[in-house]
Chains A and B, each alone.
Chain A
Amino acid sequence: MKTKLTLLLIVVLTISSFGGVALTQDMSEVQILYWQASSILNPYLSGGTKDIDASAIVLEPLANWAPDGSLNLNLASEVPTLENGGISEDLTSITWNLRDDIVWSDGSPFTAEDVVFTWEYCTHPEAGCVQADEFVGVVSVEAMGMHSVTVTFDAPKPNPFRPFVSHIQPILQKAQFGECIGAEMAACSDANFAPVGTGPFIVEEFRPNDVVTYVRNPNYRDADMGKPAFDRVVFKGGGDAESAARAVLETGEADYAWNLQIAPAVLDSMEAAGNGQVVVAYGQAIETIWINGTDVNPDNPNRSVYMADGSNAHPFLSNKAVRQAMSMAIDTNILAEQLYGRSGKATCNFINSPASNVSPNTSCDQDIAGANAVLDEAGVVDSDGDGIREYMGHALRVQYQTSTNAVRQNTQALIKQWWGEIGIDTELRNIDAGVFFGGDPASPDTYQKFYSDVEMYTTGSSSPDMESLLSNNRCGQAPGPDNNWTGSNIIRFCNADYDAALDELSQTAGQDARAAVIIRLNDILVQEYALIPLVYRSSASSAYANSLGGVDINGWDSEMWNIEDWYRADM
């Protein structure tokens, strides 16, 4: 008996002695938790957010997008404009003046040569550079002296702020990556795991797919201003979103947790613990219903293929009244509030940001009676009494596909019900995201192949300029067998006014003038009901502890974009 008691006592004492160590918050260290672990610190070899964010702590672009969609300068000394001559009159080149006081973390000076090298590095034909698309249309990148670099395009670019802007394409050090060009890219794991940068921190240790530790960069340009405030950063990966949120909001083990795609109710209850808060950032990400403009009958040899003569148009979705009624039947407010919570807002527009681009000309309140009236008026009526309307002998039965995801399946169920109320029968289908977005041309289930009447997914733009997003729907870019199903015009849309407006946009400089054209483009898409915008989704949602100050979450760039401004707040 006595020995048992002693044993028990020892056990209790040992356990209690472990207690308490869990919550030592280090004043000089910030703990960041990503539930996807970073696997490489070179954004040119990986497009994953986890990798871009982990490298953004070290590597910097010339400038990046701030949360409001404006430019924030990093290595450049001023924003090039037409007025200061940074942008040429014919809009075909942009000249960046670089700061002359920047040094790499190893002490060597940062020059225009590094910028030129970065372009060569990514555009090498054997490289397989993930960000190659950012440099499309760039003819040359030339150093104009030590601290000036000119990017020349093959055609006028009214928005030249793409190459070297944003943390997806930061500047690499020529001295470090010089040998790693082309096919040698992958052989440089030392450089890829610990790039030398100009940013506020230096990689101390990188464990692939697990954790990155950083220490303060003594050569950082604002070091004399006390930046960064932290001596160390621990960037831990792995696990799942829910436990990452818990570690910040409930147990206080971490300061920052990334991308919390969790049910709103769960997040609310965690936040109620009072240790931290959840923040969301909005960029351009729209959950959209895409309406197929072509016939998708399985017996059709040209299933889902666009024909310029209109011979392969969808039997009833080519009728605008049907599309309009489908749009009118949907209550986007319910979708946003019930299914997205704080991570989504109801929207009537395809383009929702920055504020100047948002069209005031659209509306989308739910109107079931109105939708029924529109269909009746267009002669789309239920002639055989089965509850489903017909148009030219075709019953309005649609197949509605999306990727497998709880929120999307709930959205589908609601919309199926609403469409049922206007006499449209909906068959729901969900496909594994890896297949749906996988782009395998042999698979019948990809979103590009679009072997269904309507489909739903989110599309977006990584920069505040909407030109490339809107250009996706240009006539002639529909996916089909001739381009191995890789076209960008998913809805097989063809509208002369739209293409003319796109041409105009590509010639228009100046933010206000561009916004006017962008609004016109948006209105054509929305008012033709070529697609139905549902929810304006947040591009980022993260949690941070109350003791962490300076966080300014960014929907246009890496969330780590301003980590040099983070500090330990007094509690």
Chain B
Amino acid sequence: MGKYFVRRLLTAIPTILVISFIIFAIVDLSPSDPTSNLPMTIPPEVRAKVREALGADDPFVVKYIKWLNQFFIAEPLNLIETSFGITFPGSEERARVISWATRGPVIDIIAQRLPQTLWVVGSSYILGVLIAVPVGIYSAYRQYSIFDQVGTFLMMVGFSVPTFFTGLMFIIVFSVNLKWFDSVYDTTLVVTDIDTLRQQLNQMIMPVTVLTLYTTAQMSRYTRASTLENLQQDFIRTARSKGLTERVVVGRHVVRNSLIPVVTLIALGIPGIFAGALITEQIFRINGIGQYLIIAIQGGDLPTVQTVTFIFAVLVVLFNIVADVLYGILDPRVTYT
């Protein structure tokens, strides 16, 4: 097991390097120009100077090696320095990943934005899972009952209606008409007392609900399918014929087995929390990672796009490993050699 884990981690390194190259190449080859958003009154000579100062016209290989150095050497060193308060030699000259739009380090902005994303997307994810699992199990247990029918309908709606629609509808109903909730997320709010906590919850309700609806729909369908499959297994019939109570049959034998794939799915979804919710964050003006990525793409801010996308890719690789390992722990039938 331990050996397997180490092996997976080691093979992840070349994977990540290849991914970094592919991401960097795709983004770099895209026809985007950091000066394209400048007013038209700014002449081409000035634009050329700006690109030169940014290093945007450097050869691809030079840019890639620079970025590798910035991301894999300078940034970790800087992280160590700031978290332990020590200074390595050459700290001043170290080139960090610098955004073309803000001219500041990309990682600092990610760090500034991560809490909002974790709060909103994270809580909707937890909430979604907490609702989806019981709903999915009960739907399967009482297949074709009214509960199942209504649940299936609602989940289909949640699954198929896009978040930009539900988000907008929520704003029009709850902000414009009822005036219950804020539609503009105040990112400067610091929770210090009951009142600010109430404000924080107020502004989180709509985005969290929108995202929860989506997560719940996805997860509950999965749980339901997995539970249905197990309910028809021979060992359940055996358990019933032994005279076990329904509570034990469902709780111990069905649910446990059904949740194994669900847990994997949950683990695989975690990188998505860090990536943020692109559209929902944009609609509610939450300064999360997703919104950052959109702004960076629109502004042709390639170092930011490359860095954010790459971090996301690393998380996907890592959580794939985690999911595989979890599978082995939860399901004794699976062994790793």
Contact = CB atoms under 8 A, between A and B. Distances in A.
A437 B41 CA distance: 12
B295 A238 contact: yes
B198 A17 contact: yes
Contact of B40 (A42, A186, A460): A460
B282 A238 contact: yes
Interface in B46-73: 46-47, 49-54
A505 interface: no
B178 A19 contact: yes
B320 interface: no
A18 B205 contact: yes
Interface stretch (B20-28, B124-132, B283-291, B328-336): B283-291
A21 B43 contact: no
A435 B31 contact: yes
B248 interface: no
Q: Chain A interface: which size bin? A: 35 or more
A211 B287 contact: yes
Contacts of A189: 102-105
A18 B181 contact: yes
Given A238-B285, A238-B295, A243-B283, A461 B202 contact: no
Contacts of B184: 33, 236, 239, 247, 253-254
B33 A438 contact: yes
A300 B198 CA distance: 69
Residue in A45, A213, A254, A435 with the greatest tally of chain B CB atoms within 10 Å: A45
Contact of A39 (B47, B101, B199, B282): B101
A207 B41 contact: no
A243 B171 contact: yes
B201 interface: yes
Of the candidates A20, A434, A461, the one having the most CB atoms from chain B within 10 angstroms of its own CB is: A434
B324 interface: no
Interface in A57-91: none
A483 to B, nearest CB: 9
A437 B36 contact: yes
A239 B53 contact: no
B44 interface: yes
A430 interface: no
Nearest to A17: B198
A435 B33 CA distance: 9
A459 interface: yes
Interface stretch (A112-120, A122-130, A258-266, A318-326): A122-130
Contacts of A434: 31-33, 36, 300
A434 B51 CA distance: 16
B299 interface: yes
B82 interface: no
A538 B196 CA distance: 41
B49 A129 contact: yes
A23 B179 contact: yes
Contacts of B103: 40, 42, 45, 185-186, 189, 192
Contact of A130 (B46, B283, B292): B46
Interface in B110-138: 112-113
A45 B285 CA distance: 25
Nearest to A190: B104
B104, B182, B300: residue with the most chain A Cβ atoms closer than 10 Å: B104
Interface string A194-219: 00000000000101111101000000
A547 B310 CA distance: 46
Contacts of A126: 53
A186 B184 CA distance: 31
A439 B36 contact: yes
Nearest to B201: A18
B39 A462 contact: yes
Nearest to B104: A189
Contacts of A185: 53, 103
Given A48-B38, A443-B31, A128 B102 contact: no
Contacts of B300: 434
B202 A130 contact: no
Contact of B36 (A42, A234, A239, A438): A438
A438 B34 CA distance: 10
Interface string A364-397: 0000000000000000000000000000000000
Contacts of B175: 22, 251, 253
B180 interface: yes
Nearest to A14: B201
B191 interface: no
A488 interface: yes
Contacts of A20: 179
Interface in B163-214: 168, 171, 175-176, 178-184, 186-188, 198-199, 201-202, 205
A447 to B, nearest CB: 9
A46 interface: yes
A209 B183 contact: no
A13 interface: no
Interface string A159-202: 00000000000000000000000010110010011000000000
A486 B44 contact: yes
B202 A21 contact: yes
A37 interface: yes
A128 B54 contact: yes
A18 B198 CA distance: 7
Contacts of B31: 434-435, 438, 440, 443
A215 to B, nearest CB: 12
B188 A211 contact: yes
A1 B184 CA distance: 38
B231 interface: no
A440 B29 CA distance: 13
B275 to A, nearest CB: 16
Nearest to A210: B287
A47 B42 contact: yes
B277 interface: no
Q: A183, A437, A439, A461: which has the most chain B beta carbons within 10 Å?
A: A439
Interface string A404-422: 0000000000000000000
Contacts of A253: 175, 182-184
Contacts of A207: 112, 187-188, 287
Contacts of B54: 128, 186
A42 B50 CA distance: 14
A537 interface: no
Nearest to A132: B46
B109 interface: yes
A251 B176 contact: yes
A236 B44 contact: no
Nearest to A128: B53
A99 interface: no
A243 B104 contact: no
Given A186-B98, A246-B176, A437-B36, A460 B183 contact: no
Contacts of A128: 49-54
Given A19-B178, A253-B182, 18 more contacts: A15-B180, A22-B181, A22-B182, A23-B179, A47-B39, A126-B53, A128-B50, A129-B49, A131-B46, A186-B103, A189-B104, A236-B285, A246-B183, A247-B184, A251-B179, A435-B31, A437-B40, A486-B45
19 contacts: A20-B179, A22-B180, A39-B99, A39-B295, A40-B103, A126-B53, A130-B42, A186-B98, A192-B104, A207-B112, A207-B188, A209-B291, A210-B287, A211-B188, A236-B285, A246-B176, A253-B183, A254-B184, A488-B43
Interface of B: 31-33, 36-47, 49-54, 98-99, 101-105, 109, 112-113, 168, 171, 175-176, 178-184, 186-188, 198-199, 201-202, 205, 282-285, 287, 291-292, 295, 299-300
Interface of A: 15, 17-23, 33, 36-37, 39-40, 42, 45-49, 126-133, 183, 185-186, 189, 192-193, 205, 207-211, 213, 234, 236-240, 243, 246-247, 250-251, 253-254, 434-435, 437-440, 443, 459-462, 486, 488
What 7 pairs between A and B have smallest CB-CB spacing? A128-B53, A189-B104, A210-B287, A47-B38, A486-B44, A208-B102, A39-B101
